[in-house]
């Protein structure tokens, strides 16, 4: 058995000492930037789920490096954030100490996985050298009015004690702690991502290397819709209520209006009225309801009248104003016009609260009557009850009524997005301070660039209540940069998603201290060629990063507009049916597997068990299998290695290179490993090995099991690292389809012999006879396979291929082949060739079954069995 642990230590030390994975810009080499989403560092042991994620990236990076690319493959840590702060409150340790310790443990374990990162580029977002550039970007965005502060109803997580961006509220719950999110009106900082809604949507088309599912999620999240803004007037006031609708054709049928309960306007409207108390109660009840289910079709519609009326701009009708659970603040203007005759939700609500229903679209082939309607009519038809638009097709009326509104100044065509601005302020300590100063005389003043970074004060008390920064006098109290009078600092910090929106740029020049990055280096390395990470970031990190890059391009800081050319979403590792996670307690740690089998075994198993994009179940037996395989590979070194070559070995070698290369390129790592395993079996079964084939095997194994590959490379007399060797190229001329087919025939025959022995219950064979098919059948097979390409008509084929004296057999063969085309061999040889091949592999078969084998042409035998032999399928007689 190989001492894997010893080998791993040896090579990890050498890699580190010689810095073999360090990269520099090199204009003569083609660059390739591979990146995994950087982790939040935790101090617990890495488990096999982590190991799988990083191994996927590492295989690809090693492969591309060996292919001759100048590969940038860095690692760093998303080091700010709540867990460290919460842990600090609990354990009374400073978040900085806690984080630094976590990073140390995390990176040590990553090194033990054998990952080929350029560790000199490591970054951590919690250091001023990094976060000062968050502040710098903030100032640039502030200058362009892309960062702004406003009072808004925002998502509040009580457990986390902070606000959340819309993207961080998943089905009404906090993305981090899964607690219900409530709505609070607060003064908050936003990044104006909506300014880029159109570009973010349009440029999704450029993301050819992204999974369709992620692109669709972004499209839906941005949520563009074309429609009409209709100005309703508040009864008894000059105030206008703008309503966005995609159905202006139903405007004459509006019988009520509905505000989202959390709309700030609502409390204003009911202030000091008899409705105030009840409305407040209703709001309190609704806003804690899960927002996703509030709008679900089957959800019970609930609401109440708030005592006010609006005026329909076309009819002058008074329309009662309601609030209801099914209207959300983030859609349109946070209020809707309701047309119960032609919208199902409005219909249900109107029925429940006895609101009139007015038909404005009639179907062409029958007539609707309000009193007979059991549900809304949502199909097309002709307008009715709509004054001058009566009789107009409703599709056309959309345009006509909009034009009419525009002419009268009552509305206009518009485009709406579901996307809302990105809320970036957090009321917590462990993040980037927002570089703003409040002065009583000058108002809001940005911190001058030369004063950056605004450093996080380090001696802080963590009580678990409120924002610790707000209680630090030395931090809060400052001078106004403009007028020098007393002023105070902003105490909110930035969402950590700001840190991760540009970290991929920092890796290009991680030690740069005059700018966030060196533009020349950015030009060489960016964009990221292959990004790897979880699909859960589809509308958070991946959207924010795209926005950031677009904003930086407009600021002329970068010269490209998309950060990630290709994106790969890996699957999750499960155990006992659940995603492997520490909180669930179903983890298999890297340490325990490494100690028992070595890390190469773990890597191999994790990549062999399924396609990298699929979820997989951990299996102890699977690990054992990988362990045995690697030992088998190593034992090949016991064989004699020669310089001799033969056609078969050459074919096998080049066919394997071709398959493995193609499969790694397509992220089908498990398929690549199957080819490598077959090749290993092939080399194991032969008498001797040649240099080309063993060197090929070591090289193509290197991305998967790099430590063992290095060891074997050294043992076969090489002085350099196999990790830096050139990836083998296959030679199409050396791939021989015929030779491949012949071997397959032999393998199939061995499998057939095994079946025969099993069926006949023969434990020890004395003799095996193999009958090679009669000569005429090869000719017949060739003809039939050609005819089958033209027609599947059995009678027609039989007529064309008939051979005198074999009529009955031909008819039978044709029928079987038409029914099961897979029965036709890929390559049809000749009786002579087939007999020769079997002779060639006679030794192998004899060894396999520990008996003597005789090969006989069917014509030379009187055995009835001999007649059953077919081309590529010898008949078998065993006793």
Q: Which residues bind Zn ion (CB under 5 A)?
A: 157, 159-160, 174, 176-177, 439, 441-442, 480, 482-483
Q: Judged by CB, which is closer to Zn ion: 68, or 443? A: 443
Cβ distance 507 to 72 under 8 Å? yes
> Which distant-in-sequence residues (6+ apart) come within 8 Å of 303 by Cβ?
258, 282, 322, 323, 324, 325, 326, 349, 353
In 3D space, the residue among 849, 611, 646 whose CA is nearest the CA of residue 752 turns out to be 849
What is the smallest separation between the CB atom of 163 and Zn ion, expressed in angstroms? 10
What is the smallest separation between the CB atom of 175 and Zn ion, expressed in angstroms? 8
Q: Judged by CB, which is closer to Zn ion: 80, or 130? A: 80
Token pair in block for residue 85: 């702060």
Q: Judged by CB, which is closer to Zn ion: 405, or 480? A: 480
Q: Judged by CB, which is closer to Zn ion: 439, or 543? A: 439
Strand 425-426 to strand 493-494: parallel, antiparallel, or no bridges (unpaired)? antiparallel
Q: Judged by CB, which is closer to Zn ion: 83, or 211? A: 83
Q: Judged by CB, which is closer to Zn ion: 442, or 476? A: 442
Strand order from edge to edge, sheet including 573-575: 578-579, 573-575, 616-617
CA 234 to chain centre: 48
What is the smallest separation between the CB atom of 448 and Zn ion, expressed in angstroms? 13
C-beta pairs of 452-457 under 8 Å, 24+ apart in sequence: 452/132, 452/135, 452/136, 452/139, 453/128, 453/131, 453/132, 453/135, 454/135, 454/489, 455/128, 456/128, 456/429, 456/430, 456/432, 456/493
Token pair in block for residue 348: 């249900």
Cβ distance 578 to 535 under 8 Å? no
Residue 540 burial class via C-beta count within 10 angstroms: exposed 0-12, middle 13-18, buried 19 and up? buried
For 5, other C-beta atoms within 10 Å of its C-beta total 15
What is the smallest separation between the CB atom of 423 and Zn ion, expressed in angstroms? 14
Q: Judged by CB, which is closer to Zn ion: 174, or 722? A: 174
What is the smallest separation between the CB atom of 78 and Zn ion, expressed in angstroms? 17
In 3D space, the residue among 132, 136, 121, 35 whose CA is nearest the CA of residue 506 turns out to be 121
Q: Judged by CB, which is closer to Zn ion: 393, or 467? A: 467
Cβ distance 814 to 801 under 8 Å? yes
Q: How far apart are CA 705 and CA 697, in angstroms?
A: 11
Strand 486-489 to strand 436-439: parallel, antiparallel, or no bridges (unpaired)? antiparallel
What is the smallest separation between the CB atom of 159 and Zn ion, expressed in angstroms? 5
Report the DSSP beta bridge partners of residue 435.
Answer: none
In 3D space, the residue among 125, 111, 102 whose CA is nearest the CA of residue 58 turns out to be 111
Q: How far apart are CA 212 and CA 230, in angstroms?
A: 35
Report the DSSP beta bridge partners of residue 303.
Answer: 324
What is the smallest separation between the CB atom of 81 and Zn ion, expressed in angstroms? 12
Q: Judged by CB, which is closer to Zn ion: 169, or 746? A: 169
Q: Judged by CB, which is closer to Zn ion: 169, or 311? A: 169
What is the smallest separation between the CB atom of 442 and Zn ion, expressed in angstroms? 3
What is the smallest separation between the CB atom of 483 and Zn ion, expressed in angstroms? 3
What is the smallest separation between the CB atom of 160 and Zn ion, expressed in angstroms? 3
Q: Can you tell me whether residue 147 is helix, strand or coil?
A: strand
- Tokens 């599912």 map to which residue? 213
Token pair in block for residue 579: 């995603």
What is the smallest separation between the CB atom of 720 and Zn ion, expressed in angstroms? 52
Would you give the end-to-end CA distance of the chain in angstroms?
A: 39
Q: How many residues does the chain have?
A: 879
Q: How far apart are CA 49 and CA 56, in angstroms?
A: 11
For 161, other C-beta atoms within 10 Å of its C-beta total 17
Q: Judged by CB, which is closer to Zn ion: 157, or 360? A: 157
What is the smallest separation between the CB atom of 541 and Zn ion, expressed in angstroms? 17
Q: Judged by CB, which is closer to Zn ion: 160, or 419? A: 160
Q: Judged by CB, which is closer to Zn ion: 410, or 442? A: 442
What is the smallest separation between the CB atom of 538 and Zn ion, expressed in angstroms? 20
What is the smallest separation between the CB atom of 464 and Zn ion, expressed in angstroms? 14
> Which distant-in-sequence residues (6+ apart) come within 8 Å of 559 by Cβ?
523, 553
Q: Can you tell me whether residue 371 is helix, strand or coil?
A: helix
Q: Judged by CB, which is closer to Zn ion: 289, or 830? A: 289
What is the smallest separation between the CB atom of 76 and Zn ion, expressed in angstroms? 25
Q: Kindly report the CA angle at 681 between 675 and 686, in degrees rounded to 5?
A: 130
In 3D space, the residue among 354, 352, 358 whose CA is nearest the CA of residue 376 turns out to be 358
Q: Judged by CB, which is closer to Zn ion: 157, or 207? A: 157
């Amino acid at each position: 058995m190989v001492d894997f642990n010893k080998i791993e230590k040896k090579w990890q030390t050498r890699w580190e000492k010689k810095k073999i994975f360090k990269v520099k810009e090199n204009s003569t080499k083609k660059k390739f930037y591979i990146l995994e989403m950087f982790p939040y560092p935790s101090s617990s042991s890495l488990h096999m789920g982590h190991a799988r994620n990083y191994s996927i990236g590492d295989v690809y990076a090693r492969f591309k490096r060996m292919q001759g690319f100048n590969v940038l493959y860095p690692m760093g840590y998303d080091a700010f954030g709540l867990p460290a702060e919460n842990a600090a409150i609990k354990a009374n340790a400073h978040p900085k100490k806690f984080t630094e310790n976590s990073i140390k443990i995390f990176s040590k374990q990553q090194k033990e996985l054998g990952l080929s990162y350029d560790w000199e580029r490591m970054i951590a977002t919690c250091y001023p050298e990094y976060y000062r550039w968050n502040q710098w970007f903030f100032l640039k965005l502030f200058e362009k009015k892309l960062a702004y502060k406003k009072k808004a109803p925002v998502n509040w997580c009580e457990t986390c004690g902070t606000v959340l961006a819309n993207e961080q509220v998943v089905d009404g719950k906090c993305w981090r702690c899964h607690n219900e999110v409530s709505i609070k009106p607060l003064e908050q900082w936003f990044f104006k991502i909506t300014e880029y809604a159109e570009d973010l949507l349009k440029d999704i088309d450029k993301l050819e290397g992204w999974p369709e599912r992620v692109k669709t999620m972004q499209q839906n999240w941005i949520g563009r819709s074309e429609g009409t803004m209709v100005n309703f007037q508040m009864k008894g006031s000059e105030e206008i209520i703008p309503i966005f609708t995609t159905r202006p054709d139903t405007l004459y049928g509006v019988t009520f209006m509905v505000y989202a309960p959390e709309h700030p306007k609502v409390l204003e409207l009911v202030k000091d009225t008899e409705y105030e108390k009840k409305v407040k109660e209703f709001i309190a009840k609704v806003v804690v309801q899960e927002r996703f289910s509030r709008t679900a079709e089957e959800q019970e519609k609930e609401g109440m009248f708030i005592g006010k009326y609006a005026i329909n701009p076309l009819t002058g009708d008074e329309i009662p104003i309601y609030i209801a659970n099914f209207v959300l603040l983030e859609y349109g203007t946070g209020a809707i016009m309701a047309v119960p005759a032609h919208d199902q939700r409005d219909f249900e609500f109107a029925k429940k609260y006895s609101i009139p229903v007015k038909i404005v679209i009639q179907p062409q082939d029958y007539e609707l009557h309000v009193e007979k309607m059991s549900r809304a009519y949502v199909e097309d038809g002709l307008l009715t009850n709509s004054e001058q638009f009566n009789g107009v097709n409703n599709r056309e009326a959309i345009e006509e009524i909009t034009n009419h509104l525009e002419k009268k100044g009552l509305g206009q065509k518009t485009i709406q997005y579901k996307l809302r601005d990105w809320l970036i302020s957090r009321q917590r300590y462990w993040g980037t301070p927002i570089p703003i100063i409040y002065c009583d005389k000058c108002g809001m003043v940005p911190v001058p660039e030369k004063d950056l970074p605004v450093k996080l004060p380090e001696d802080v008390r963590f009580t678990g209540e409120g924002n610790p920064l707000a209680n630090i006098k030395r931090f809060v109290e400052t001078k106004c940069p403009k007028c020098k009078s007393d002023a105070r600092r902003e105490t909110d910090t930035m969402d950590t998603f700001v840190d991760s929106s540009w970290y991929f740029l920092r890796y290009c020049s991680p030690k740069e201290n005059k700018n966030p990055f060196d533009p020349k280096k950015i030009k060489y390395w960016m964009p990221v060629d292959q990004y790897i990470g979880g699909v859960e970031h589809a509308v958070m990190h991946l959207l924010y990063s795209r926005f950031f890059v677009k904003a930086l391009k407009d600021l002329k800081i970068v010269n490209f507009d998309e950060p990630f050319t290709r994106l790969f979403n890996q699957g999750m590792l499960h155990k006992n049916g659940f995603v492997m996670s520490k909180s669930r307690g179903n983890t298999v740690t890297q340490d325990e597997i490494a100690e028992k089998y070595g890390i190469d075994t773990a890597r191999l198993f994790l990549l062999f068990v399924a396609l990298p994009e699929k979820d997989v179940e951990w299996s102890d037996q699977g690990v054992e299998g990988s362990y045995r395989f690697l030992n088998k590979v190593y034992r090949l070194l016991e064989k004699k290695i020669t310089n001799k070559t033969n056609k078969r070995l050459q074919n096998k070698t080049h066919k394997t290179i071709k398959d493995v290369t193609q499969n790694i390129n397509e992220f089908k790592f498990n398929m690549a490993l199957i080819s490598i395993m077959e090749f290993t079996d092939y080399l194991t079964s032969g008498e001797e090995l040649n240099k080309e084939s063993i060197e090929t095997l070591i090289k193509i194994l290197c991305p998967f099991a790099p430590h063992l590959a290095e060891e074997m490379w050294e043992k076969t007399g090489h002085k350099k690292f196999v990790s830096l060797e050139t990836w083998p190229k296959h030679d199409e001329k050396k791939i021989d389809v015929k030779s491949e087919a012949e071997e397959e025939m032999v393998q199939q025959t061995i499998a057939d012999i095994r079946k025969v022995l099993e069926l006949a219950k023969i434990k020890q064979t004395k003799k095996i006879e193999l009958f090679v098919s009669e000569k005429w059948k090869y000719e017949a097979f060739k003809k039939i396979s050609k005819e089958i390409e033209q027609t599947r008509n059995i009678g027609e084929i039989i007529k064309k291929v008939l051979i005198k004296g074999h009529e009955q057999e031909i008819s039978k063969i044709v029928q079987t082949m038409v029914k099961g085309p897979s029965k036709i061999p890929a390559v049809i040889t000749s009786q002579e060739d087939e007999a020769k091949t079997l002779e060639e592999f006679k030794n192998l078969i004899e060894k396999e079954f520990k008996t003597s084998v005789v090969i006989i042409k069917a014509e030379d035998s009187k055995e009835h069995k001999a007649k059953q032999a077919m081309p590529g399928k010898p008949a078998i007689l065993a006793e």
